[in-house]
């Protein structure tokens, strides 16, 4: 049954990674409820509630897997009703994004080996996700633009600035055609390895570099839609959460709440009756 569910997800456009993740979520549910087709709304609510220690994004992913599975099961006639139709959404609280400081990144680039420096620049200048930069292949470069396949198999074009372009050409000269960050047996490095390399060198993770790049891009352009396209977000609301405006901008916003014209005393001709009393 889960093999059929997996194939259905691929047929409807979900990526292999998402399909595998959702099947894994359902297998975990099956450990507590062996008869998946008899699961009720209360069972699903209890399952999610029992995992309050997990991050909200993780619980939201679990709910999404449940919704996909029971939507498919209902369409296939395996269940008479979809138990997820009344399943409440998982609230993900807004957080202040962690942003890699520019001085830390620049100092790190001065001391990083060539390959590591390119990884850092792809995350900071190209705003690439960890998986996107780890699996980057030379066939994805078209002159000074990278063709990136992101989440949900969505394609986007990422222009490179001069510094990033020079770094990529250097890698091509030294490694030849293929993955920019080759691993063993012709494959690319693992994402966990790249994550450790960047984090150990900078003291901040690749995702904070992506946040920093997004913030810098918005400050330079003020164009939220352009930043959304650069990041490859489906929702502009997601892009907004990536931007770290900084307390200097918040201070300017707070200063802007002041009165344009201040009145220091009541004009005698318009003195309110309660004030006169």
Catalytic residue status for 173: no
Helix (H) / strand (E) element for 149: namely strand 145-149
Q: Which H or E run contains 71?
A: helix 56-75
Question: Is 129 among the catalytic positions?
Answer: yes
Q: With contact defined as beta carbons under 8 Å apart, do 239 and 231 qualify?
A: yes
Listed in sequence order, the residues at least 6 apart from 68 whose beta carbon sits closer than 8 Å to its beta carbon are 5, 9, 14, 22
Tokens 């489906």 sit on residue? 234
Q: Is 147 a catalytic residue?
A: no
Choice among 59, 63, 124, 210 that is catalytic:
210
> Catalytic: which of 63, 124, 129, 188?
129
56/47 Cα distance (integer angstroms): 14
d(CA 41, CA 85): 8
Is 185 assigned a catalytic role? Answer: no
Q: Point out the catalytic residue in the list 207, 211, 218, 244.
A: 207
74 is catalytic: no
- Give the C-alpha separation, 123 to 212, whole Å: 9
Kindly give, in sequence order, each residue whose CB lies less than 8 Å from that of residue 120, ignoring residues fewer than 6 positions away: 105, 108, 109, 112, 198, 201, 202, 209
> Quick check: is 207 catalytic?
yes
| Ramachandran angles phi, psi of 188, nearest 5° | -95, 165
Reference 187, options 136, 235, 153; nearest CA is: 136
Question: Which among 33, 74, 151, 175 is annotated as catalytic?
Answer: 151
**Catalytic residue annotation:** 129, 151, 207, 210, 233, 242
């Amino acid at each position: 049954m889960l093999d059929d569910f997996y194939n259905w997800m691929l047929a409807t456009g979900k990526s292999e990674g998402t399909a595998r993740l959702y099947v894994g979520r359902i297998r975990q549910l099956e450990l507590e409820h062996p008869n998946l087709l008899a699961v009720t709304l209360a069972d699903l609510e209890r399952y999610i509630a029992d995992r309050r220690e997990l991050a909200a994004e993780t619980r939201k992913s679990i709910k999404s897997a449940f919704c996909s599975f029971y939507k498919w099961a209902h369409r296939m006639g395996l269940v008479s009703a979809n138990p997820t139709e009344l399943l409440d959404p998982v609230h993900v609280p807004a957080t202040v994004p962690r942003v890699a400081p520019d001085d830390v990144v620049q100092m790190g680039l001065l001391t990083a080996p060539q390959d590591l420096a390119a990884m850092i620049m792809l995350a900071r200048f190209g705003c690439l996700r960890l998986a996107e930069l780890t699996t980057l292949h030379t066939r994805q470069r078209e002159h000074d633009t990278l063709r990136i396949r992101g989440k949900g198999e969505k394609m986007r074009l990422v222009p490179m600035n001069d510094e990033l372009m020079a770094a990529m050409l250097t890698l091509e000269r030294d490694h030849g055609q293929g993955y920019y960050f080759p691993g063993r047996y012709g494959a690319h490095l693992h994402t966990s390895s790249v994550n450790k390399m960047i984090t150990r060198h900078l003291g901040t993770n690749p995702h904070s570099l992506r946040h920093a790049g997004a913030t810098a891009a918005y400050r330079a352009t003020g164009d939220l839609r352009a930043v959304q396209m650069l990041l490859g977000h489906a929702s502009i609301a997601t892009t907004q959460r990536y931007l770290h405006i900084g307390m200097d901008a918040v201070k300017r916003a707070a200063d802007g709440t002041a009165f344009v014209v201040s009145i220091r005393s009541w004009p005698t001709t318009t003195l309110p009756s309660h004030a006169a009393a």
